C-alpha cells in the first residue's frame, strides 16, 4: 500500500522541508483560512452560548397561565367577569392534558389584588409574596446562594418558612448580616428564612425582590379558599408548546363558560416562543459563518493550488530530471498531490492549534466582562471534523491541477538545454 | 545491444517540416564506447533522445537489448528508461536541493529499491567516481567536474544496459573534461556500453568508435584506437 510507503513520505517531506520558503508561502493561505473559519465558528458558538445563558434556569418548553377578566359576554354572563382558577383546575389539567410534564400552582400575595407587607426590624421590602410548590424550581430554577429552596416537607407540614431573593435580603437585613434561621414578618406572621436566592442572569420572571413560602402555608395562613393565581407548567419536550397551550385554554374556557374567541380572560406566556426565535437566529448565524468560513477555506486552498502551479512551472526541470530517471507520470502526480495534501493538512492543523489558543485566551478575557455577548467561544468537534474533511478533499481535488500540469510537459522539453 | 534500421525523424514547425534524421542504420554491441560526432545542429541530440526514449522516431525501427522500442506510452517509457538507460547531461541536471548521495540514489528510488540498499549502492558509486567524502554536499558546493561525476554515479547507480551522455564535457574546461573522460573510459573498461555525443574531436578520439553525423546522415562510422585520457590527468 503506497499510502504507508515510508520512502514516499520521506521523499515528499524532504522536498517540502528543503524548500522551506516555498512551503511556508504555500501554507500561509490555508493557515489563515483555517484560523478565520474556526474563529468565526468559535465566535458564533460563543454567541449562541450567551443566548443560551439568558435562558439558563428556565425550561425552554415552559408555559405560564393565569386568570383575568372576560372581555366577551357569553352564555348569559356579562363581560368583565373575574375568572379565578382553583386547585381543581390543576387536577383537571393533570388528568386531561397528558402532554403536561410539570404543573405547579401559585398564589400571589401583593401586587394589585391583595396588599402585602414584608417587614423586619422596622424595615419593609415591598416584596411580592409567592405561595409555591417546590416543583416551581424545575420550571424556573432558583439560583440558591445560601440555605435551600422549599421542599415537600415544608408543604406537608405547612411550615412557616420562606426563601427570599437577594434584593429582599438587602432591604431587610444589614450587609453581611446572617439571615438564615432568622424571621421576617409577612402580613404580621413570622416566617423563618431558610434560603436566599440570586436571580438568574437575564430572564427571570419572578425577579429577586420576592419571598417564596410554601403553597399550603400560604393558603392556611392567608386564606383564599382553593383559589390559584397562576400556573407554571412545562410541556414534555417532544411536543411544541402552542398547540398544547390552545388545548389547555379551550378546556378551561369551556369549564368557565368563556367565549371561545375571548383572548383576555386567560392570560398566558409561552417561553418557547422567545426561545425558538433566538435559536432560529443563532442557527442562521451559525450557518452563515460556516458558509463564509468554508469559502475562505476554499480561497486558501485555491491559493495553495496557485502557488503549487507556479512552483510546478519552476520545477519543470526537476520534474523532467525525475522522469528521465524513471519517474512515471503517476508517481509524479502522486507526489504533487501528496505535497498539496501535506501542506494543507499541516497548515490546517497549525491554524487549528492557533485558533484554539486564541479562543481559549479570548474566553479567559471575556469571562470577566459583563457586556460581551460571548460565552465559551469554541468550535464543536463535528464542525472541526467537517472543516478538516473538506480541507483534505478540496486539497486533493485542487492538487490535481498542478499535478496534471506537471506531467503534461514532456521530459524532453523540460530538459532541453537553453 | 542497440539496433537502428532506417531511422527518420523530422520536426514539424507550422506548415514546415525539418527533416533532421534521414534514414540512419547502425548497431551497437555490448561493451562498446561510441562517439556520435557532428557539428552543431547535425541531429546528434535528436538521435540520442530517440535512443533514450525521450523522443519518438517517425520511421524505421529501434531495438534495445532485443526489445522493440515503439509506441511507448509515457509510463512504459519511464519504466524502460529506469531499467535500461543511464543519462549524463551537459548541464549535469542534478536536483539542486538534494545532496550528492540523494541525487545518486534517486533512480534507485524509482526502481523501488529499499532505503538501506539505496544508500549503500549510492555510496558505492560515489566512491567509484571518487566522491565518497562529498556524499553529504549539495550540488552548489561542488565544482563542475565534481557535479558531472555525481551525475555519472547517478547514471551508473541504476545499473543500466546503456549509458547515454549528451556533450558530457561541454560545460567543462579541457583538464576537467579529460578527467571525466578518464572516468568514462574506466567505466567502459568494466564492460559498460556507452554512447557519447560530442562535437569535440579530442573527446571523440577517446572513444573506441566514431559515428559521424552530417546533415542527418551517417557520413562515417569507424573504429579508432582509443586515446587514453589518463595520460592527460
Ligand atoms: N523540438 C524541436 N523542434 C524543432 N526543431 C528542433 C527541435 N529540436 C531540435 N530541432 C532542430 O533539429 C536540428 C538538430 O538539432 P539537435 O539534434 O539538437 O542537434 P545537435 O545536438 O547535433 O546540435 C537543429 O536544427 C535544431 O534546431
Ligand atoms: Mg546537441
pLDDT digits 0-9 by tens, A51-64: 777 666 667 788 89
pLDDT at residue A201 above 70? Answer: no
Q: pLDDT digit string (tens) for B16-46? A: 889 999 999 999 999 999 999 999 889 999 9
Could you give the C-alpha distances from B105 to B85, B155, B158, B168, in angstroms and in order? 15, 10, 9, 20
Å from CA of B94 to ligand 1 middle? 23
Rounded CA-CA distance A273/A100 in Å is: 17
Q: Is A14 on the interface with B (CB under 8 A)?
A: yes
Please compute the mean of the pLDDT values over residues A113-133 and round it to a whole number.
83
Instruction: Flag residues of chain B having pLDDT under 50.
Output: none
Determine the distance from the C-alpha atom of residue A211 to the mean position of all C-alpha atoms in its chain, rounded to a whole number.
30
Please give the angle made by the CA atoms of A315, A320 and A322, to the nearest 5 degrees. 95
Nearest to B109 among A7, A323, A329 (CB): A7
When scoring B47, B85, B102, B109 by the number of chain A Cβ atoms within 10 A, the one with the most, hence best to mutate, is B109
Q: Cell numbers 495534501 label which residue?
A: A341
Q: How many beta-carbon pairs below 8 A join chains A and B?
A: 71
Tell me how far apart the 2 most distant CA atoms of chain B are, in Å.
54
Pocket lining: B140 vs ligand 1, CB cutoff 6 Å: no
| Residue B114, min C-alpha distance to chain A (Å) | 8
| Residue A15, min C-alpha distance to chain B (Å) | 8
Nearest to A326 among B49, B91, B107 (CB): B107
Return the residue of B nearest to A7 by Cα. Answer: B115
Q: Report the percent of chain A where pLDDT is more than 70.
A: 94
Query: What does the pLDDT read at residue A103?
Result: 92
Q: Cell numbers 387536577 label which residue?
A: A91
Could you give the C-alpha distances from A161 to A193, A197, A228, in angstroms and in order? 6, 14, 20
Rounded CA-CA distance A312/A330 in Å is: 15
Task: Give the start-to-end residue ranges of the domains of chain A.
Answer: 2-55+276-416, 84-255
**Among B residues 88-117, those touching chain A with beta carbons less than 8 Å apart:** 89-91, 93-98, 102, 106-107, 109-111, 114-115
Chain B residues lying within 8 Å of A17, measured CB to CB: none
Q: Is B87 on the interface with A (CB under 8 A)?
A: yes
| Number of CB atoms found within 10 A of residue A392's CB | 16
Could you give the C-alpha distances from A153 to A149, A157, A220, A315, in angstroms and in order? 11, 6, 15, 83
Å from CA of A318 to ligand 1 middle? 22
Would the CA dihedral through B14, B19, B23, B25 be positive or negative? negative
Q: pLDDT digit string (tens) for A286-320? A: 888 888 888 887 888 888 788 878 878 778 888 88
Could you give the C-alpha distances from A319 to A213, A257, A396, B53, B113, in angstroms and in order? 85, 90, 20, 16, 20
Q: Cell numbers 559498460 label which residue?
A: B192
Using DSSP bridges, classify how beta strands B67-68 and B85-88 pair: parallel, antiparallel or unpaired. Answer: unpaired
Is A326 in Cβ contact with B79 (below 8 Å)? yes
Q: Can you tell me the ipTM of this complex?
A: 0.91
| Residue B96, min C-alpha distance to chain A (Å) | 9
Nearest to B110 among A317, A318, A325 (CB): A325
Burial class (CB in 10 A: 0-12, 13-18, 19+), B140: exposed
Rounded CA-CA distance A330/A398 in Å is: 16
Could you give the C-alpha distances from B134 to A245, B147, B149, B158, B187, in angstroms and in order? 88, 10, 11, 20, 20
| Residue A391, min C-alpha distance to chain B (Å) | 29
Q: Is A321 on the interface with B (CB under 8 A)?
A: yes
Mapped onto helix, strand or coil, the DSSP state of residue B122 is helix
Q: pLDDT digit string (tens) for B141-173? A: 999 989 999 999 999 898 898 999 999 998 889
Rounded CA-CA distance B108/B155 in Å is: 10
Least confident of A121-135, A306-320, A368-382, B94-108: A368-382
Pocket lining: B41 vs ligand 1, CB cutoff 6 Å: yes
Strand pairing partners for A211?
A: A129, A164
| Number of CB atoms found within 10 A of residue A407's CB | 21
Rounded CA-CA distance A313/A309 in Å is: 6
When scoring A323, A324, A413 by the number of chain B Cβ atoms within 10 A, the one with the most, hence best to mutate, is A324
Smallest CA separation from ligand 1 atom 13, residue: B41
Residues with C-beta atoms within 5 A of ion ligand 2: B 45
Rounded CA-CA distance A42/A46 in Å is: 6
CATH architecture classification, B2-94+159-231? 3-Layer(aba) Sandwich (3.40)
**Cα radius of gyration rounded to whole Å, chain B:** 17
Rounded CA-CA distance B82/A325 in Å is: 6
Asked if residues A332 and A406 have their Cβ atoms less than 8 Å apart, the reply is: yes
Rounded CA-CA distance A360/A262 in Å is: 53
Q: Is A159 on the interface with B (CB under 8 A)?
A: no
Pocket lining: B215 vs ligand 1, CB cutoff 6 Å: no
Average pLDDT over all residues of chain A: 84
Rounded CA-CA distance B7/A192 in Å is: 115
Amino acid at each position: 500500500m503506497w499510502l504507508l510507503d515510508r520512502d514516499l513520505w520521506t521523499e515528499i517531506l524532504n522536498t517540502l522541508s528543503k524548500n522551506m520558503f516555498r512551503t511556508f508561502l504555500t501554507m500561509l493561505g490555508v493557515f489563515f483560512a483555517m484560523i478565520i473559519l474556526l474563529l468565526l465558528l468559535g465566535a458564533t458558538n460563543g454567541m449562541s452560548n450567551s443566548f443560551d445563558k439568558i435562558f439558563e434556569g428556565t425550561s425552554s418548553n415552559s408555559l405560564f397561565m393565569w386568570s383575568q377578566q372576560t372581555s366577551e359576554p357569553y352564555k348569559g354572563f356579562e363581560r368583565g367577569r373575574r375568572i379565578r382558577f382553583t386547585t381543581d383546575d390543576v387536577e383537571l389539567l393533570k388528568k386531561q392534558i397528558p402532554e403536561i410534564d410539570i404543573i405547579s400552582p401559585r398564589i400571589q400575595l401583593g401586587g394589585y389584588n391583595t396588599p402585602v407587607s414584608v417587614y423586619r426590624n422596622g424595615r419593609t421590602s415591598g416584596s411580592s409574596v409567592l405561595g409555591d410548590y417546590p416543583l416551581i424550581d424545575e420550571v424556573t430554577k432558583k439560583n440558591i446562594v445560601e440555605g435551600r429552596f422549599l421542599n415537600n416537607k415544608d408543604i406537608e407540614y405547612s411550615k412557616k418558612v420562606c426563601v427570599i431573593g437577594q434584593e429582599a435580603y438587602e432591604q431587610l437585613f444589614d450587609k453581611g448580616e446572617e439571615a438564615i434561621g432568622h424571621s421576617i414578618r409577612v402580613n404580621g406572621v413570622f416566617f423563618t428564612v431558610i434560603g436566599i436566592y440570586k436571580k438568574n442572569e437575564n430572564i427571570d420572571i419572578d425577579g429577586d425582590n420576592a419571598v417564596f413560602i410554601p403553597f399550603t402555608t400560604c393558603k392556611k395562613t392567608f386564606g383564599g379558599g382553593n383559589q390559584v393565581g397562576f400556573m407554571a407548567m412545562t410541556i414534555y419536550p417532544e411536543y411544541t408548546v402552542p398547540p398544547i397551550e390552545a388545548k389547555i385554554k379551550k378546556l378551561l374556557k369551556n369549564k368557565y363558560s368563556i367565549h371561545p374567541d375571548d383572548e383576555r380572560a386567560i392570560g398566558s406566556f409561552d417561553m418557547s416562543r422567545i426561545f425558538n426565535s433566538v435559536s432560529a437566529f443563532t442557527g442562521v448565524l451559525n450557518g452563515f459563518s460556516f458558509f463564509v468560513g468554508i469559502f475562505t477555506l476554499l480561497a486558501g486552498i485555491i491559493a495553495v493550488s496557485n502557488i503549487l502551479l507556479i512552483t510546478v512551472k519552476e520545477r519543470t526541470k526537476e520534474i523532467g530530471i525525475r522522469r528521465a530517471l524513471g519517474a512515471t507520470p503517476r508517481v509524479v502526480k502522486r507526489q504533487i498531490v501528496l505535497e498539496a495534501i501535506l501542506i494543507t493538512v499541516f497548515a490546517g492543523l497549525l491554524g487549528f492549534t492557533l485558533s484554539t489558543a486564541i479562543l481559549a485566551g479570548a474566553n479567559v478575557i471575556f469571562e470577566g466582562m459583563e457586556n460581551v455577548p460571548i460565552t465559551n467561544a469554541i468550535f464543536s468537534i463535528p464542525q472541526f471534523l467537517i472543516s478538516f474533511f473538506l480541507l483534505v478533499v478540496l486539497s486533493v481535488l485542487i492538487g490535481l491541477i498542478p499535478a496534471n500540469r506537471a506531467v503534461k510537459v514532456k521530459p524532453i522539453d523540460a530538459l532541453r538545454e537553453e | 545491444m542497440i539496433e537502428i534500421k532506417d531511422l527518420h525523424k523530422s520536426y514539424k514547425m507550422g506548415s514546415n517540416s525539418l527533416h533532421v534524421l534521414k534514414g540512419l542504420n547502425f548497431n551497437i554491441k555490448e561493451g562498446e564506447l561510441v562517439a556520435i560526432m557532428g557539428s552543431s545542429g547535425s541531429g546528434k541530440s535528436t538521435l540520442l533522445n530517440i535512443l533514450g526514449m525521450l523522443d519518438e522516431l517517425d520511421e524505421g525501427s529501434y531495438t534495445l537489448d532485443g526489445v522493440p522500442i515503439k509506441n511507448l506510452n509515457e509510463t512504459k517509457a519511464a519504466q524502460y528508461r529506469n531499467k535500461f538507460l543511464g543519462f549524463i547531461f551537459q548541464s549535469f541536471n542534478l536536483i539542486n536541493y538534494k545532496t550528492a548521495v540523494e541525487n545518486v540514489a534517486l533512480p534507485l528510488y524509482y526502481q523501488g529499491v529499499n532505503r538501506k540498499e539505496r544508500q549503500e549502492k549510492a555510496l558505492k558509486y560515489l566512491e567509484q567516481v571518487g566522491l565518497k567524502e562529498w556524499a553529504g554536499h549539495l550540488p552548489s558546493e561542488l565544482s563542475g567536474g565534481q557535479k558531472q561525476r555525481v551525475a555519472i554515479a547517478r547514471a551508473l547507480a541504476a545499473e543500466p544496459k546503456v549509458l547515454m551522455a549528451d556533450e558530457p564535457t561541454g560545460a567543462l574546461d579541457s583538464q576537467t573534461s579529460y578527467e571525466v573522460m578518464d572516468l568514462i573510459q574506466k567505466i567502459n573498461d568494466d564492460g559498460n556500453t556507452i554512447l557519447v555525443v560530442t562535437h569535440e574531436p579530442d573527446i571523440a578520439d577517446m572513444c573506441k568508435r566514431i559515428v559521424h553525423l552530417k546533415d542527418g546522415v551517417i557520413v562515417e562510422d569507424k573504429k579508432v584506437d582509443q586515446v587514453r585520457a589518463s595520460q592527460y590527468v
